[in-house]
Chains A and B, each alone.
Chain A
Amino acid sequence: MIADRINRATRKVPAWPLYILGALPPLWLLFQGFTGGLGVDPVKEMEHQMGLWGLWLLIAGLCVTPLQRFAGVRLIKYRRAIGLTAFFYIFLHLLIWLVLDVQIVSQIIADIYKRPYITVGMAAFVLLVPLALTSNNWSIRKLGPRWRQLHKLVYVIVPLGGLHFFLLVKGFQIEPLIYLGVIFLLLALRIRLPRRKRTAPAE
């Protein structure tokens, strides 16, 4: 079974190298940006790449539970690293937009209020912050069952991220629709139909 082989192979692989791996794409982008490797419009390229990587990782995070439930692949120990790296990328995405792209504070504030795609993106980021802050063992212990409740916010955040992308493209484009489709599929897999009540056998 493939699932067993994956589970055996990953048994001894810890999660911490993912944080180091996760730092590479932004460093690579920065290096490319300084050396002219990002083409004619390096700011937009960095901004878009970080947004896209963030969305991919958010979607990857949503895949962990269905993979376990339907395929028996256990990747749960990597989920925190996936989620925190996604947050890191989205934070950089926001930072690039603020500092390198728009630059003008009044325009930033106006954009957040006036532009639905930016409002949606900002909302998703704000909702991500408490999740990133509580992605540690201490918070899990401290919050108890409320931790699970809190982290269900991803079911709102990831579709908002997909919507953010969908709203900003010009014309009818396929890529954001694919992401939205995948996101809704991954959410639909979590819907548990109410179990039929076991009726006690008569007498």
Chain B
Amino acid sequence: APEGLEPNSFEDITNYNNYYEFGTGKRDPAENAHMLTTSPWTVKIDGMVDRPGDYQFEDILAKAQIEERIYRLRCVEAWSMVIPWNGFTLASLLGRVGVQSGAKYVAFETATRPEEMPGLRYQVLNWPYREGLRLDEAMHPLTLIATGLYGKDLPNQNGAPLRLVVPWKYGFKGIKSIVRITLQDTEPFTSWNDANPREYGFYSNVNPTVDHPRWSQATERVIGAGLFGSRRETEMFNGYGEEVASLYDGMDLQKNF
């Protein structure tokens, strides 16, 4: 994992967001996300698990071991920032509900509340927003469910009350404001892949050698570096290759992008 990452300011992290349910502009989520009611919050966990059910967010949080993880977030739009998340591993949550032996994938779903999310008026994507991981990716110790940043409760524009963070994948894989987690044996529907399969693959691992058809992924703009801040070279797996490259042994990452 990358060492010595210098986190972006709280200001940066909470005013530059992609959360299309609140609008497609980078500042729209900061302006509109206050409308989202995050308490009470229920997460439905179902599919191939031993203890399916509707879990209250408080109960999930009460049983969780919260730790800080400073990760670089690399957006598919070729920019990056560094975020000090607080959260727990997805593996610990899945461990508590008991994953059945046939399960191969995890599917996630974001809340869909037209009265609280003005961006849903536009069919930018096929709502609700959905994401997915292979089970081994989901169980990886780097894969986090974030519930806070900078030691504070997660701001709504960052995906309150709980969101996924997968640091070696493009940011859009980190689904926000999760209301449903389903264990299944088939590859899940994922929203951006559905919108444009040529541009967004199921895996969407950060990979400087596979360009987005409309822009290069070789470099990234560093958010917070100011007017003359330069680009940095994008690293394979966003710099987390040592930990995760083995998950993809024998796979053609040009095809499975």
Give A residues with C-beta under 8 Å from B: 33-34, 39-44, 100-104, 107, 110-111, 114-117, 167-174
Q: Is the CB of A171 within 8 A of B124?
A: yes
In the complex, chain B residues 196-241 whose Cβ is within 8 Å of any chain A Cβ = 211, 214-216, 218-219, 221, 223-224, 226-231
Q: Is the CB of A40 within 8 A of B11?
A: yes
Interface membership of B125, Cβ < 8 A: yes
Pick the contact of B26 from A40, A169, A171 — CB < 8 Å?
A40
Chain B nearest CB: distance from A114 CB in Å? 8
Q: Is the CB of B227 within 8 A of A33?
A: yes
The verdict on A167 contacting B214 (CB below 8 Å), with A39-B26, A43-B221 known, is yes
The verdict on A103 contacting B11 (CB below 8 Å), with A40-B26, A40-B224, A171-B124 known, is no
Pick the interface stretch among B12-20, B156-164, B248-256: B12-20
Interface membership of B245, Cβ < 8 A: no
Size of B's binding interface in residues, CB under 8 A = 30
Q: Kindly state the separation between the CA atoms of A111 and B219 in the bound complex, as whole angstroms.
A: 13
Interface membership of B24, Cβ < 8 A: yes
Q: Is the CB of B24 within 8 A of A104?
A: no
Q: Which residue of B lies closest to A30 (CB)?
A: B227
Q: Is the CB of B24 within 8 A of A41?
A: no
Q: Kindly state the separation between the CA atoms of A173 and B124 in the bound complex, as whole angstroms.
A: 6
Q: Given the complex, which residues of A lie within 8 Å of B16, measured CB to CB?
A: 39-41
Q: Which residue of A lies closest to B200 (CB)?
A: A170
B15, B79, B214, most chain A CB atoms within 10 A:
B214
Q: Is the CB of B15 within 8 A of A40?
A: yes
Q: Kindly state the separation between the CA atoms of A44 and B75 in the bound complex, as whole angstroms.
A: 14
Q: Kindly state the separation between the CA atoms of A170 and B192 in the bound complex, as whole angstroms.
A: 9
